[in-house]
Structure 1
Amino acid sequence: MTDRALRYFLAVVRAGSVRAAAETLNVAASAVSRQIIELEAEVGEVLLERLPRGVVPTEAGRMVAEHAQRQADEAALLDDRLKRLRGVQQGTIRLCCGAGFVIDLVDNALAGFAEAHPGIAYQIEIGTTDGILAAVAQGEADLGLAYNPPARPDVYGIVSARQPLLAILPKGHPLVRSSGPVPLRAFATEPAVLLPPDHGVRQLLGRAEADGGFRLVPRLETSAFELHRRFVTAGMGVAFLPRFVVAAELQADLLHAAPLRDPLLTEASAHLVVRTGRRLPEGMGRLVGWLAERMVAFRATS
């Protein structure tokens, strides 16, 4: 199996179609198709299932794609080592993260890391929890930042810390001076800003609501975390977020965070994930350590 055939095949699996892969590779679609046909002949198996709107890998195709991804990772690792041998510290690190991590990531980690490692560039994509895990597993992202992700065999959490879901309250709220954790049910009649139903945090809240037999009242529903912050600081109601999302506002005494009593919400955690089995280049390994030390998301809460 030639490097070109594997590279073209992996691009097709990622893009979901030959034409889209050809555009990414900047080659003719016929050239991609020819490499796939030759690869299938060499392997002796059908590697792609042709669908009306694209292709998906067969079981054999998934095996070949995993092999192609390992080769791509090893090639990147070799390139990194050769650059270091020549005294060059450069490259691009691709991160995929939930929107709630962005301020923490940039302000508390990347700003300092970029100054210390000026030759490294970054690509940052925002995604849902499922999208983040898929991007890391498929090699489309080097590192992923996800909140309370489900377990998957093809990715693992290289760094994690418990980050309970908290009630974020405006100044002057009656529960600001509460002496202990508050049940989520206490907010059942209060106006709240909530994330959309497909968001992991909203689903976590939904499970606690179902267990308790009540429903929160969404006055505002939005995926924009900045609107969550402004909703609360304006005194319009409450929000439910982990501490790292509103760390700056809490430090500035613009908001108040109340711990929640519900076990489902107290055990949530933040994770930095990588693809299972991948050996990280030196620059990426250094970034992992930097994120673990400096991001508020990875400072375990009591």
Structure 2
Amino acid sequence: MTITRVLDQLDRIYLGKPEITRLCCTALLADGHILLEDVPGTGKTLLAKSIAKSFEAEFTRIQFTADLLPTDIIGSDFFNVQTQTFENKTGPIFTNILLIDEVNRAVPRTQSALLEAMEERQVSIGGVTYKLPEPFFVIATQNPIESAGTFALPDAQLDRFLMSLQVGYPEAEEERQLILQTISKTRHAVHALMSSETFLAAQREAEDVRVHEDVVTYLLALIQETRKHPLVEVGASPRATLALVKASQAYAYIEERRFVTPEDVQAVAIHVLAHRLTLTLEGDVKSSKRAILADILERVDVPVEKV
């Protein structure tokens, strides 16, 4: 599959994190947006750029800052003195893959301007609705440690991201390779390997991956546990349930299977659900969202194939 070639290229460029590159491609195949969270210098922007360039699609990058206005993103109407008419100037959001660096540095008003685009794939300018190009994805990065000059993303916007991924540091050997590539100036170039048409066709194929009733029952059991857990105040919503189904289908498709297994659900569950949970005050002190989900995955019985 062409998506396999994309994964191979990403693994050569973004060293030591094959599970992260696989999850990113899974989210895109599931028609979802990605939030990359980690400390500065872990290659979040490099990863986002490499993903964008691997597809023959239009790519735009926006650096979010505190003085960025909603019109700087979606565009605005302006008065043309020569023609004496109002004309529309579209913003950088009219692209296929939109990379937003440090999304939590913009004020809530600007962050909210993304909501309609992320959910509906459209924006409203001067009372007129404009459809965004297909495909359309947002890959956003944020530093979860630094708080000065940042604004927490509202729950409504967090819920629009299909996955939240924590990149993490590379292993020592991968970091050694990174140093050697930098010294020898032999960093791999990124080539466009998949056209928009091919990608949209792959999306449709991923949607047709079969989900057995037993897997649905298992998936729902996981969702119910997030709602009953004593350290969770607000569990996974029905939107989160559907997101988990789509992500599991896409992951199975990348694994070149036409059906979803419980292992596919387990591979994506933490990344799909963690940012959608709200913990109790006690939960914030005692545990983390990802640790709670890992515990749930450990406790819920996994369906086995009947002999």
Scaled to the shorter chain, the TM-score interval is: under 0.3
Larger Rg: 1
Query: TM-score, normalization: structure 2?
Result: 0.21
